[in-house]
Amino acid sequence: MGRIHAMREGRDVPWSEVVARAEAARFVLLGEIHDNADHHRLQARLLARLAAESPAPAVVFEMLASDRQADVDAFLASGARDPEALAERVDWKGSGWPAFDLYRPVFAAALEAGLPLYAAGLPQGEPPGGGDSAWRERFALDAPLPAELQTTRIEEMFVSHCELVAREQLGPMVEIQRAR
């Protein structure tokens, strides 16, 4: 709690280094243990910092199903900035994600900064890798990954989930990440 750990380097990193790395990056992927409120607070803090930079970032949420983008757009177009109202608009309670209170700081930081928000999650009921065959073919999801790459992706997923999910269970999660 209260630490930021660089998994690849196997060490804790100071906040200043996290900020410097994020500011220098073209893309920043923020992960967390889903039910860890401290992780979400740190994400919100970094997002607020990045939002003050020029150009300000767009925020892509895996927790928002892509078929809810029209709801997100309408919410933002209305000028509303209340995170709970957005959660209601996108039916967070029915999404299967942990309680919105955990994610509230991240959404609040993005909304307060007026950042563009994008829904990147698979729609509920969508099979891993997406269901539309033309879409799967377009993004080469119709063919399995080469064995070595699949093994690498599973290992990355294993480490990024704090080694808490058995490798044997991670195949579908790799497919979901490919689809995203």
Q: Distance between CA 4 and CA 23 in Å, rounded?
A: 16
Amino acid at 101: D
pTM recorded for the entire structure: 0.79
Q: Distance between CA 108 and CA 117 in Å, rounded?
A: 12
**What are the backbone angles phi and psi of residue 47, rounded to the nearest 5°?**
-60, -45
Q: Which domains does the chain have, with CATH numbers?
A: 1-125 (3.40.50.11550), 127-180 (no CATH)
pLDDT tens for each residue of 101-142 = 999 999 999 999 999 999 988 777 665 555 566 656 766 777
pLDDT tens for each residue of 44-86 = 999 999 999 878 899 999 899 989 999 999 999 999 999 999 9
pLDDT score of 34? 82
Question: What is the sign, positive or negative, of the torsion defined by CA atoms of 60, 64, 66, 70?
Answer: negative
pLDDT score of 113? 96
